[in-house]
Amino acid sequence: MGHVDHGKTTILDYLRKSSVAAGEAGGITQHIGAFSVPLASSGKTVTFLDTPGHAAFLAMRQRGANVTDIVILVVAADDSVKPQTLEALKHAKAAGVPMIVAINKVDKEEADIQRCKQDLARHGVEIEDFGGETQVVCVSGKTGKGMDELEESVVTLSEILDHRADTDGAVEGWVLEATTKKAGRVATVLVRRGTLKPGCVLVAGKTWTRVRTLRNEGGFAVPQVGPGMPVEVDGWRDQPVAGDEVLQAETEQQATSVVDFRDEKAEREKIAEDTEAINENRRLEQERREKEKAAEAAAKRVASVSREDASISASVPGADAEEQQSGQVTVPFIIKADVSGSAEAVSAYIMSVSNPLIMPQILSSGVGAIHESDIDLAHAAQGHIIAFNLPDDPDMKALAEYRGVKILENNIIYRVLDDVKAVLENKLPPIV
Ligand code: GDP
pLDDT digits (tens, 9 = 90+) for 252-282: 999 999 999 998 888 888 888 887 887 888 8
Confidence of residue 31 (pLDDT cuts 50, 70, 90): low
- Alpha-carbon gap, residue 269 to 267, rounded angstroms: 5
Nearest CA to ligand 1 atom 11: 5
Most confident segment among 181-190, 193-202, 412-421 = 193-202
Mean pLDDT, range 219-240, rounded to an integer = 93
Residues 216-228: what's their mean pLDDT? 90
- In angstroms, what is the span from residue 419 Cα to ligand 1's centroid? 74
Tell me whether strands 384-388 and 329-337 are parallel, antiparallel or unpaired. Answer: parallel
> Ligand 1 centre and the CA of 99: distance in Å?
21
Q: Are 305 and 334 in contact (CB under 8 A)?
A: no
Question: How many Å apart are CA 423 and CA 50, to the nearest integer?
Answer: 77
Atom number in ligand 1 closest to CA 145: 23
Q: Which residue has the higher pLDDT, 66 or 178?
A: 178
Between residues 91 and 33, the one the model is more confident about: 91
Residue 32: per-residue pLDDT: 64
For ligand 1, atom 6: residue with the closest CA: 7
Going by CA atoms, what residue is nearest to atom 9 of ligand 1? 7
Burial of 337 (0-12, 13-18, 19+ CB in 10 A): buried
Pocket test for ligand 1, best of 4, 5, 112, 113 (most atoms within 8 A of CB): 5
Q: How many CB atoms within 10 Å of residue 58? A: 12
Q: Is 414 exposed, middle or buried (CB count within 10 Å of its CB: 0-12, 13-18, 19+)? A: exposed
- CA separation for the pair 430, 432 (Å, rounded): 6
pLDDT band at 351 (very low <50, low <70, confident <90, very high): confident
- pTM for this entry: 0.61
Of 394, 296, 387, the C-alpha closest to 346 is 387
For residue 14, report the distance from its CA to the centre of ligand 1, in Å.
Answer: 11
Mutate to test the pocket of ligand 1, among 9, 10, 11, 149 (most ligand atoms within 8 A of CB): 10
Show Cβ contacts of residue 323 under 8 Å, excluding neighbours closer than 6 positions.
Answer: 315, 316
Atom from ligand 1 closest to the CA of residue 12: 7
How close are the terminal C-alpha atoms of the chain, in Å?
A: 91
Which atom of ligand 1 has the smallest separation from the CA of 2? 3
Average pLDDT over residues 209-236: 93
Nearest to 44 by CA among 152, 173, 193: 152
Percent of all residues in the chain with a pLDDT value above 90, rounded to a whole number: 44
Q: What is the pLDDT of residue 324?
A: 41
Provide the 10 A C-beta neighbour count for residue 360: 24
Average pLDDT over the chain, rounded to whole? 84
User: Residue 23: which H helix or E strand, with range?
Assistant: none
Cα of 340 from ligand 1 centre, angstroms: 59
| Average pLDDT estimate for 311-318 | 41
How would residue 320 be classed by pLDDT, with cut points 50, 70 and 90? Answer: very low
Task: With H, G, I as helix, E, B as strand and everything else as coil, classify residue 179.
Answer: strand
pLDDT surpasses 50 at 283 = yes
pLDDT of residue 322: 34
What atom in ligand 1 is closest to the CA of residue 10? Answer: 7
Residue nearest atom 24 of ligand 1, based on CA coordinates: 105
196 close to 171: Cβ distance less than 8 angstroms:
yes
Give the binding-site residues of ligand 1, using a 6 Å CB cut-off.
Answer: 2, 4-10, 104-105, 107-108, 140-142
Position 308 pLDDT exceeds 90? no
Residue 305 has a pLDDT of 58
pLDDT per residue over 110-157, tens digit each? Answer: 999 999 999 999 999 999 988 999 999 999 999 999 999 999 999 999
What mean pLDDT do residues 2-19 have?
Answer: 85
The answer, yes or no, to whether residue 298 has pLDDT greater than 80, is no
- Ligand 1, atom 14: nearest CA belongs to which residue? 5
Q: What proportion of the chain, given as a percentage, has pLDDT over 70?
A: 85
> Could you give the residue ranges of the DSSP H alpha helices within 188-337?
252-315, 321-326
Q: Find the 6 Cα to ligand 1 centroid distance in Å.
A: 6
Q: Check whether 321 has a pLDDT greater than 50.
A: no
* Average pLDDT rounded to a whole number, residues 368-396: 90
Q: Which atom of ligand 1 is nearest to the CA of 6?
A: 3
| Atom number in ligand 1 closest to CA 143 | 23
Burial class from Cβ neighbours inside 10 Å (0-12, 13-18, 19+) for residue 357 reads middle
Determine which residue's CA is closest to atom 2 belonging to ligand 1: 5
Judged against a pLDDT cut of 60, whether residue 315 lies above it is answered with: no
Average pLDDT over residues 199-210: 96
Interval 380-391: pLDDT, tens: 888 999 999 898
- CA distances from residue 208 to 33, 170, 211, 250 in whole angstroms, order as listed: 21, 15, 9, 12
The alpha carbon of 11 and the centre of ligand 1 are apart by a number of angstroms equal to 8
pLDDT score, position 314: 42
Beta strand 184-193 with 201-204 is: unpaired
Q: Helix (H) and strand (E) counts for the chain?
A: 11, 16
Check pLDDT > 90 for residue 231: yes
